Chains A and B, each alone.
Chain A
């Protein structure tokens, strides 16, 4: 845990201004306001101050000063995170990497790109396109989110089942440690000697170091991609079809599922021609060479029909493929149109539990009196339930949070986990106590201390303090017993 900072806001700002352009040391509330939250805007906090260094050396000096003075540091990219991982600390500095926005080098032969952390995810693929290459992980926020944030969250996207997560697609990171040293973790080789610190850094939510450069792998753009859309009149059949296609030996480039609510909302929005009466919709994209795609598409259509699809449609052109995806890609804003607010959850479950979990979620939806729409990465069991609510109705957000917490706990109960790609941040910190016991959480704290002995990096995020965990577990237990009693009496 951090101790009380040993320096005042004014002193800190003055020190920073000796080596950072004073314009980029922000101390007034009005200019700091946009930094008070990330994409999870329900959690807000104003920082002590915000700095936007322009060189690695400046980052080092910021870290040294903060480390010496026990000032918390929250590194920030584009602020698109969905677990409040970049929410400021009120006694701390927000270290924005926004000025580090340069693609340093693309090596088409080696299929790598050297990037400053503030480069947007989509910009990598756009720049690599001239060489017939692209960057694999494609989180939904890819138009805005940055590669530094992707490393912090181990971001995924639609194509993870086949092409992996961030951890599978980076070669090295240059980072500044809590103590202000610059270290290179990883190399141009596919693995390095010693402990795999690159894996540890990836998904560490800004708790272990500040990434100042990333080298990523690029992939050749597939010759062809086609998508098969299959509608089902029953969630169970849709869930089974997900397993069916994989059991058949096809690893789709993307395999996405939507439930009835999401189908209608997305189709209203995108007019994609989805089967509006379906209870579950699968979008299965197959990519590769012409011949391979041709072979696999035919097999996929047959598998879906055999498993009871009520409609099967395959894209015949790039335009049609884009249209079928448009519905999926706009599903979140589409759901936004049918509700004043929505809360996007993120848990992972074994694929075989998809139908069961969706059915249970429907029941909970009735219990909590809140609608839920499901859009998710079915191929890797990553759920994104969207709980629809109205923040203006007193108590409704609290009910939404409780509903969300129950969904995450159910994910753990069926053998899954509380976050597939959004991270723990502040949002899911209590549920960490459900997934991990005290010894495991203590091990995480010890790992953190190995990188950050003074505990200045993003304190209070990712791993809960043990003293809160026992309390949460017993509270939850009581709550469940209570729900159970109500259900039995109802």
Chain B
């Protein structure tokens, strides 16, 4: 546990004076995400800025320095029977909460439990002028000022250095079980959405390799009663399966030779007729796709499905890896970037070539 803020601030101010660019790095486990880092940029490490600043289990609120590893946070919460409801993926033990927010990464429970973006209540941010700013707060409801905290989710560190995060945490569900059954990809979309429309304690729904998996969690009685009513076999070691899905460690994701694409689309959209393998998660809203290809070739399929596509891992990262933005939104995002980081110090070109 250490407060490394002064050093971070000095490094930002120095970079500003010298015209240097900085790549922000936490645990360094997500270097594969986004476009390739600028090789000429220096490294700003948040890994030493760690520790739980404030935690009141009764408030369901945790405030933590951004470099704190997820594993440390989860261990602390577990002592109080609580958890990070958005089930962040771990890419090794070093993954930090700051990186998780910057990349907006959430696990299989996301349609029900919300994402990291949904659970963020407030942040402290070191902007490109070296100002340390506080946005949001430590309470569930706060509508004073613009929601700069959630703006960071998915911005890949292009707006500043997140130094501290306040998050909503939740009680761990008392019971949990997984139902599995054989099902074709053509019928599973309808099936998962039908299940999600029922008032039952469903907390995850995915499909891979001809099998549909549903997770039920909550009060023991409710979980068991639902499992009896619904079809499917109770899966042994269901928790282990979902942990693999959460950490993008399921065998579907193995190997780096074939690019891994992520489609974020309408939950009921037909799966695009593209040549390659699919893993359907989030009851249809997140679809992983493995195939060689070009972003521009996949974009029409994503658009037709009501959403967007990005290159998650592997492939060519010198071009764009994120779904292309219309001109008006490009303009707004360029100006927002300029508002936070006028000298373009942070993570240049990591999100888009034009940012």
A475 at the interface (CB under 8 A from B): no
Q: B24 within 8 Å of A by Cβ?
A: no
Bound-state CA distance A25–B82 (Å) is 56
Q: CB of B293 within 8 A of chain A? A: no
| Given A196-B150, A443-B133, residue A289 in contact with residue B199 (CB < 8 A) | yes
Instruction: Return chain A residues, CB-CB under 8 Å to B154.
Output: 191-196
Contacts of B143 in A (CB 8 A): 153-154, 203, 419-424
Complex Cα spacing A247 to B82, Å:
9
Contact B114 A164 (CB under 8 A): yes
Contact between chains at A380 and B307 (CB < 8 Å): no
Interface string of A411-445 (1 = CB under 8 A from B): 00001111111111000100010011001110110
Which A residues are CB-close (under 8 A) to B131?
439, 443
- Whether A450 pairs with B336 at a CB distance below 8 angstroms is yes
Q: Which of B147, B172, B222, B325 contacts A203 (CB 8 A)?
A: B147
Binary flags per residue of A354-385, CB closer than 8 Å to B gives 1, else 0: 00000000000000000000000101111000
A196 touches B104 (CB 8 A): yes
- Contacts A249-B171, A288-B218; is A189 near B308 (CB within 8 Å)? yes
B-side contacts of A182, CB under 8 Å: 328
> Does residue B301 face the partner (Cβ distance < 8 Å to A)?
no
Asked whether B139 lies within 8 Å of A440 as measured between CB atoms, the reply is no
Bound Cα distance A440, B81 (Å): 36
Q: Contacts A190-B110, A440-B145, A443-B340 known; A109 to B268 CB distance under 8 Å?
A: yes
Q: Is A143 an interface residue (CB 8 A)?
A: no
A249-B174 contact, Cβ under 8 Å, with A195-B151, A381-B141: yes
What's the nearest-Cβ distance from chain A to residue B321, in Å?
9
Which B residues touch A382, using CB under 8 A?
A: 140-141
A39 shortest CB reach to chain B, Å? 15
Supposing A192-B264, A295-B221, A295-B222 touch, asked if A440 and B306 sit within 8 A by C-beta, the answer is: no
- Does B30 interact with chain A (Cβ within 8 Å)? no
Decide yes or no whether B153 CB sits under 8 A from chain A: yes
How far does the alpha carbon of A15 sit from the alpha carbon of B328 in the complex, in Å?
Answer: 25
Chain A nearest CB from B319 CB (Å) reads 14
Is B353 part of the contact surface with A, judged by Cβ < 8 Å?
no
- Given the interface pairs A188-B266, A440-B145, the reply to whether A193 lies near B310 with Cβ below 8 Å is yes
Q: Tell me the complex Cα distance, A371–B79, Å.
A: 44
Selected from A107, A184, A246, the residue in CB contact (under 8 A) with B58 is A246
> At the interface with chain B, which of A267-275, A328-336, A345-353?
A345-353
B145 touches A463 (CB 8 A): yes
- Would you call B218 and A450 a contact (CB within 8 A)? no
| Chain A residues with CB below 8 A from B268, complex form | 107, 109-110
| Residue from B114, B225, B323, B328 with most neighbouring chain A CB atoms (10 Å) | B328
Does B140 lie within 8 Å of A199, measured CB to CB? no
Is B118's beta carbon under 8 Å from chain A? yes
Residue B138 at the chain A interface, CB threshold 8 Å: yes
Near A by CB (< 8 A), chain B positions 286-327 give 286, 305-308, 310, 322-323, 325-326
Measured in the bound complex, the distance between the Cα atoms of B171 and A294 in whole Å is 19
Whether, in the assembled complex, A160 has its beta carbon less than 8 Å from a beta carbon of chain B, the answer is: yes
Proximity string of chain B (114-158) to chain A, C-beta cutoff 8 Å, 1 when within and 0 when not:
110110000000010001011101111111111110111111001
Q: Chain B interface: which of A98-106, A118-126, A218-226, A302-310?
A: A218-226
Do B307 and A187 touch across chains, with their CB atoms under 8 A apart?
yes
Interface size class of B (residues with CB under 8 A): 35 or more
B111 within 8 A of A: yes
The docked-state distance in angstroms from the alpha carbon of A422 to that of B143 is 8
**Which residues of B sit under 8 angstroms from A350, Cβ to Cβ?**
56, 59, 61, 138-139
- The answer to whether B329 and A421 have CB atoms under 8 Å apart is no
CB <8 Å contact, A443 and B339? yes
Check if A391 is an interface residue, CB within 8 A of chain B. no
Is B201's beta carbon under 8 Å from chain A? yes
Q: For the complex, is A457 an interface residue (Cβ under 8 Å from B)?
A: no
Asked if A424 contacts B144 (CB within 8 A), the reply is: yes
Determine if A390 is an interface residue (Cβ-Cβ < 8 Å). Answer: no
Question: Which of A379, A423, A447 sits near B336, CB closer than 8 Å?
Answer: A447
The answer to whether the Cβ of A202 comes within 8 Å of any Cβ in the partner chain is yes
Interchain CA distance A451-B171 in the complex, whole Å: 39
- The residue of chain B having its C-beta at the shortest distance from the C-beta of A172 within the complex is B306
Asked whether B153 lies within 8 Å of A439 as measured between CB atoms, the reply is no
Does the CB pair B225–A290 fall under 8 Å?
yes
Q: For the complex, is A291 an interface residue (Cβ under 8 Å from B)?
A: yes
Among B110, B142, B147, contact of A199 (Cβ-Cβ < 8 Å): B147
Contacting residue for A432 out of B145, B335, B351, CB 8 A:
B145
**CB-contact partner of A289 in B61, B151, B225, under 8 A:** B225
Inter-chain contacts of B115 with A (CB < 8 A):
190-191
Given contacts A189-B266, A200-B151, contact A194 B197 (CB under 8 A): no
Residues of B within 8 A of A (CB): 56-61, 81, 104, 110-111, 114-115, 117-118, 127, 131, 133-135, 137-148, 150-155, 158-159, 170-172, 174, 190, 193-194, 196-201, 218-222, 224-226, 263-269, 282, 285-286, 305-308, 310, 322-323, 325-326, 328-329, 332-333, 335-336, 338-340, 351-352
- 28 of the cross-chain contacts (CB-CB < 8 Å) are A165-B141, A183-B329, A187-B266, A188-B265, A189-B266, A189-B285, A190-B110, A190-B115, A190-B286, A203-B146, A203-B147, A204-B146, A247-B58, A251-B171, A288-B199, A291-B221, A291-B224, A291-B225, A349-B139, A350-B139, A352-B56, A377-B141, A381-B140, A382-B140, A415-B137, A420-B141, A443-B339, A449-B335
The 6 closest A-B pairs by CB, nearest first: A188-B306, A189-B264, A292-B222, A188-B266, A199-B150, A189-B307
